[in-house]
Amino acid sequence: MSDNNVITGLLDRWKSGDRSVESELVNWIYPTLRELARAQMRRQGGSLTLQATELANEAYVRLIKQQGVDWQNRDHFAAISATVLRRVLIDYLRERQAEKRGGGIDVVTLGGDRAGDIPGAGDQLDWLALDQALNDLAEADPMVAKVVELRLFSGLEVDQIATCCGTSTATVGRQWRFARNWLAERLHLDPSS
């Protein structure tokens, strides 16, 4: 049985109320969650005091409250995790900004796999501005916003995003190109980068 099938089976049993699988489920999903959190921390380049373990732990706490989710597979879990990680990171940044009483905007350094995903962002990006832009994009086109979220926060590749969204890789590619240009305009970045 593949890892994907094992995780899906455990998620299904857990969703049905079988608490006996929770420990085994943690053993399967926590490493995935931790790797997603590490990827987020690599992108911020050490400019935050939040550690990958803290991000993964907080995301896990929020994920275990998601019993209403109809878990499809491992990629679907990664997609939901991306949303949760985004929320944890943005909540953390907002809290830090509030503590500073408006004394500056936290920016996150881009690096690693997704450094080129945001057009013209250079080395730093204001993730609070990106979050607001994604919220606005979700109002206009929720599927395009989901593609951006999956691309930036889950580490999923285009084919995995297509599977999660129930669409083709060509559609995801078009949505991604549109989103890059839309975000570049919205965040005042160079779209040719």
pLDDT per position as a tens digit, 114-144: 434 554 444 446 778 888 999 999 999 999 9
Q: How confident is the model at residue 178 (pLDDT cuts 50, 70, 90)?
A: very high
Would you say residue 86 has pLDDT above 90? no
pLDDT per position as a tens digit, 24-68: 877 877 887 888 787 777 766 655 677 888 888 888 888 877 766
Q: For 119-193, give the CATH class.
A: mainly alpha
Which two three-digit tokens encode residue 177? 């190109």
- Its pTM stands at 0.64
Share of the chain above pLDDT 90, in %: 15
Which of left, alpha, beta for 46 (phi over 0: left; psi -120 to 50: alpha)? left
pLDDT at 43: 66
Q: Domain boundaries in the chain?
A: 1-106, 119-193
User: What is the CATH code for 1-106?
Assistant: 1.10.1740
Q: Average model confidence (pLDDT) for the chain?
A: 76
- Give the separation between CA 130 and CA 135, rounded to whole angstroms: 9
- 44 compared with 179, residue with greater pLDDT: 179
pLDDT per position as a tens digit, 8-19: 787 778 777 787
Q: How confident is the model at residue 191 (pLDDT cuts 50, 70, 90)?
A: low
Which two three-digit tokens encode residue 110? 């881009």
pLDDT at 120: 43
Q: How confident is the model at residue 167 (pLDDT cuts 50, 70, 90)?
A: very high
- Give the separation between CA 17 and CA 74, rounded to whole angstroms: 19
Is the separation of the CB atoms in 63 and 84 below 8 Å? yes
Share of the chain above pLDDT 70, in %: 76
